[in-house]
């Protein structure tokens, strides 16, 4: 397996706050690799460290075989970066923005024209080509940003919460484009706080408070979950939840419609029977069922974010 | 090749954005236009028609002739007359008038005594009257003082010849002593200082504020390329402003343009480059557009007051002259006045030209070094 990004002991502090803490990363080439974490977990800082926008306090980084920060300038031609906030020019049209970025990367003449036409077609922006970027919708802006970030056909693409301002349908389309890029050999590193997006990644790391809590394929993460998931149905779920989370063997309980999704520690061998034996909960006439863990369960157990 | 491609990409983009920013585009033309008309007419150091009072205790034919002679100079305008010294002084305190002319009761005797002394060769002369002046404004006071030794031929029609002056004064370049002649080239310097520094200092900070910079610094753009690309459009704007100011100055205020056009453009380009680099340095320090504006004003005020635009450089104390020497505006005002009004060329003004060149080179270096392609 070829490695696109390798980092070890990566640490970055802002004053007394440690935004990224001794992070080790091994990201394979061609993969879509996800950073999943709540706001403030260090996702953006991590991406900025890996693109050379920030310098690390400690640790080593090697991206596409180039060592940072020494070879940052060399790396710039090989990577594309889509910032969290739309960072193209609001007062330029789609076409002008793309032309500007193309020229910055030294793509001129026929090649530029062909490349821009191709991107406009791929990202479905042909009709809006003469429209100012400020008048575009969230989804259009995001597609424009992705087009600009890939104009020079980078080998590695960084996407910082690319879909935060986009509706679900556009999000699905967007991920189709990412898979296309991945198929053509581009490594994609994407940060997100959406579970459904994280589940689409080939591999992902779960970050919380700057620390990597879990790393692997979504399936691996779900299989290795250190808890059993039991769904409880019936009435009065709010009160039941309050009673459940007092028990130290129960990691969390979250209401999902008419069911209460309860995470119970693996140390409890037969969780359904065990639950029914907790007489104070009065669960005998409720429906209890063990279900397959989801990525959200992994996220909740590994980030310690128990409040649902 | 790719360097040129990147610089031109930034320049082109900057032009596009500017052409969509109607207000800024309008200001490029309106600032020089309005300010030139405003200040060209408003600033005048040849003070005329100062409101003054008259306390004529003599009330004779002679006293009225003197009053008429003073009025004829057009320096003052008698708006009030008083009966007592007290009333006259109060009037100055109240700001009703700036000065009061007092002609004493024994005016006629004084004139006769002076004439007798003159006839007998006695050199003693008595003053005929007194001016009380609100001396707080030195320009007004100076104008009244110029009346101190005014000749009064009307009083002695017999010997009409006034005494010959000690010196003849030949006024080169501005014989009519019109203030606008000096103000217009100076105004070019001030307006360029303001717009050039402000435009560039906010240009990069704006990209930082809007988040564009985060994207730009992940691209292969070099800091110097970014700086140069951002500067170039404003050089053109500076030249447009120069054309408006000098052209209008010639048409409306009849300011003579003696120097060659190439010299004027060359000198102006040097100054535009220096001002733009100053703006770039500010843009690497300021985090917000408001901070950039505050810093611009911090530079602009001394540029107006200490550059020789308002007050002559020669009148400043040593320390102020050092500050003045450090401002690009000072050197440009010297050069542009030299070229426009006296037909000097850049070789005659090489020390000022050298300063601006050095300022630009060092400034560009500082700005490039200070501008990090990092977020920390």
CATH number of the domain enclosing A164: 3.40.50.300
Question: Does residue A299 lie within any of the structural domains?
Answer: no
Q: What is the mean pLDDT of residues B158-177?
A: 76
Chain CA centroid to CA A186, Å: 17
Question: Does residue A297 lie within any of the structural domains?
Answer: no
CATH number of the domain enclosing A243: 3.30.70.100
Q: What span, in angstroms and rounded, lies between the C-alpha atoms of B218 and B264?
A: 41
Total domains in chain A come to 2
**Same domain (yes/no): A213, A245:** no
Q: What is the mean pLDDT of residues B36-63?
A: 88
Task: Tell if the CB–CB gap between A106 and B2 is shorter than 8 Å.
Answer: yes
Question: Does residue A97 lie within any of the structural domains?
Answer: yes
Residue B102's pLDDT band (cuts 50, 70, 90): very high
Mean pLDDT of chain A: 87
Q: Which residues in chain B are closer than 8 Å to A91, comparing Cβ atoms? A: 16-17, 20-21
0.90 surpassed by pTM? no
Q: CB-based contact (8 Å) between B22 and chain A?
A: no
Looking at the predicted structure, is the pLDDT value of residue A182 above 70? yes
User: Strand, helix or coil at B286?
Assistant: coil
If you count residue pairs, one on A and one on B, with CB atoms under 8 Å apart, how many are there? 77
Q: Which residues in chain A are closer than 8 Å to B210, comparing Cβ atoms? A: 87, 90
Burial class (CB in 10 A: 0-12, 13-18, 19+), B133: buried
Q: What span, in angstroms and rounded, lies between the C-alpha atoms of A148 and A101?
A: 7
How close is the nearest chain A Cα to the Cα of B222, in Å?
9
Q: What is the mean pLDDT of residues A275-296?
A: 79
| Residue spans of beta strands (DSSP E) within chain B | 50-56, 76-81, 99-103, 130-133
Question: Does residue A287 lie within any of the structural domains?
Answer: yes
* Percent of chain B scoring above 70 in pLDDT: 96
**Interface residues of chain A, partner chain B, Cβ below 8 Å:** 48, 51-55, 72-73, 76-77, 79, 81, 83, 85-92, 96, 99-101, 103-106, 108, 132, 148
Say which of A53, A99, A104 has its CB closest to residue B374.
A53
Task: DSSP for A20-80, please give it.
Answer: EEEEEEEEETT-EEEEE--TTSSHHHHHHHHTTSS--SEEEEEETTEEETTTHHHHTTTEE
Task: Tell if the CB–CB gap between A103 and B16 is shorter than 8 Å.
Answer: no
Mean pLDDT of chain B: 88
pLDDT of residue A308: 38
**Same domain (yes/no): A172, A199:** yes
Question: Does residue A146 lie within any of the structural domains?
Answer: yes
**Same domain (yes/no): A197, A238:** no
Domains of chain B: 2-43+178-370 (no CATH), 50-155 (3.40.1710.10)
Rounded to two decimals, the ipTM of the complex is 0.79
**Same domain (yes/no): A186, A166:** yes
Q: CB-based contact (8 Å) between B224 and chain A?
A: no
Question: Does residue A300 lie within any of the structural domains?
Answer: no
Contact of B320 with B240, CB cutoff 8 Å: no
Q: What is the mean pLDDT of residues B185-196?
A: 92
**Same domain (yes/no): A190, A259:** no
Q: CB-based contacts of A73: which residues, under 8 Å, 6+ apart?
A: B220
Identify the domain containing residue A282 by its residue range.
Answer: 227-292
User: Strand, helix or coil at B78?
Assistant: strand
Looking at the predicted structure, is the pLDDT value of residue A228 above 80? yes
Q: Which among B166, B104, A191 has a CA at the least distance from the CA of B113?
A: B104
Q: Which among A95, A132, A133 has a CA at the least distance from the CA of A116?
A: A95
Task: Tell if the CB–CB gap between B20 and A101 is shorter than 8 Å.
Answer: no
Tens digit of each residue's pLDDT (9 = 90 or more) over A239-264: 888 878 887 888 888 888 888 888 88
Which one of A164, A198, A222 terminates a domain? A222
């Amino acid at each position: 397996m070829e490695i696109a990004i390798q980092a070890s002991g990566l640490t970055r502090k802002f004053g007394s706050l440690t935004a990224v803490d001794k992070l080790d990363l091994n990201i394979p080439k061609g993969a879509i690799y996800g950073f999943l974490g709540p706001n403030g977990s260090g996702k953006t800082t991590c991406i900025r460290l890996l693109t050379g926008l920030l310098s690390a306090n400690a640790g080593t980084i090697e991206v596409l075989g180039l060592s940072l920060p020494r070879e940052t300038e060399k790396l710039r031609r090989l990577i594309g970066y889509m910032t969290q906030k739309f960072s193209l020019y609001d007062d330029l049209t789609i076409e002008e923005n793309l032309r500007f970025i193309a020229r910055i990367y030294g793509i001129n003449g026929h090649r530029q024209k062909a490349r821009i036409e191709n991107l406009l077609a791929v990202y479905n922006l042909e009709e809006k080509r003469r429209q100012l970027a400020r008048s575009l919708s969230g989804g259009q802006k995001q597609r424009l940003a992705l087009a600009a970030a890939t104009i020079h056909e980078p080998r590695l693409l960084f996407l910082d919460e690319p879909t935060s301002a986009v509706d679900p349908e556009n999000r699905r389309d967007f991920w189709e484009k990412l898979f296309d890029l991945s198929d053509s050999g581009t490594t994609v590193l994407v940060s997100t706080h959406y579970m459904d997006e994280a589940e689409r990644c080939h591999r992902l790391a779960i970050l919380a408070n700057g620390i990597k809590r879990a790393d692997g394929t979504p399936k691996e993460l779900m299989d290795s979950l250190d808890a059993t998931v039991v769904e409880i149905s019936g009435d009065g779920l709010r009160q039941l939840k309050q009673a459940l989370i007092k028990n130290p063997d129960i990691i969390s309980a979250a209401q999902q419609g008419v069911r209460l999704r309860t995470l119970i520690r693996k140390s409890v061998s037969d969780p359904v029977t065990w639950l029914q034996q907790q007489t104070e909960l009065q669960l005998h006439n409720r429906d209890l069922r063990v279900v397959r863990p989801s990525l959200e369960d992994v996220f909740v157990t590994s980030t310690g974010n128990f409040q649902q | 090749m790719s360097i040129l491609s990147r610089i031109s990409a930034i320049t082109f983009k900057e032009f596009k954005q500017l052409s969509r920013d109607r207000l800024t585009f309008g200001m490029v033309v309106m600032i020089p236009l309005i300010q030139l008309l405003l200040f060209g007419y408003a600033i005048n150091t040849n003070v005329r028609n100062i409101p003054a009072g008259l306390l004529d205790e003599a009330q004779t034919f002679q006293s009225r002739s003197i009053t008429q002679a003073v009025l004829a100079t057009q320096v003052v305008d008698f708006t009030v007359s008083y009966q007592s010294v007290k009333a006259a002084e109060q009037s100055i305190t109240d700001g009703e008038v700036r000065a009061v002319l007092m002609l004493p009761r024994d005016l006629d005797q004084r004139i006769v005594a002076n004439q007798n002394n003159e006839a007998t060769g006695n050199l003693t002369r008595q003053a005929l009257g007194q001016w009380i002046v609100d001396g707080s404004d030195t320009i007004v006071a100076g104008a009244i003082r110029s009346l101190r030794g005014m000749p009064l031929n009307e009083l002695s029609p017999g010997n009409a010849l006034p005494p010959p002056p000690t010196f003849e004064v030949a006024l080169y370049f501005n014989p009519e002593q019109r203030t606008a002649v000096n103000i217009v080239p100076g105004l070019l310097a001030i307006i360029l200082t303001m717009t050039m520094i402000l435009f560039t200092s906010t240009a990069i900070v704006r990209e930082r504020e809007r988040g564009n910079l985060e994207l730009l610094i992940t691209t292969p753009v070099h800091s110097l390329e970014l700086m140069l690309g951002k500067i170039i459009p404003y050089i053109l704007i500076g030249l447009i402003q120069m054309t408006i100011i000098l052209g209008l100055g010639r048409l409306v205020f009849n300011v003579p343009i003696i120097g060659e056009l190439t010299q004027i453009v060359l000198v102006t380009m040097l100054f535009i480059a220096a001002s733009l680099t100053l703006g770039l340095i500010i843009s690497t320090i300021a985090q917000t557009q408001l901070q950039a504006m505050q810093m611009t004003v911090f530079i602009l005020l001394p540029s107006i007051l200490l550059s020789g635009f308002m007050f002559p450089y020669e009148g400043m104390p040593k320390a102020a002259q050092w500050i003045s020497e450090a401002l690009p505006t000072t050197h440009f005002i010297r050069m542009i006045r030299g070229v426009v009004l006296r037909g000097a060329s850049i070789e005659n003004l090489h020390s000022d030209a050298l300063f601006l060149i050095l300022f630009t080179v060092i400034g560009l270096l500082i700005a490039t070094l200070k501008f990090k392609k990092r977020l920390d």
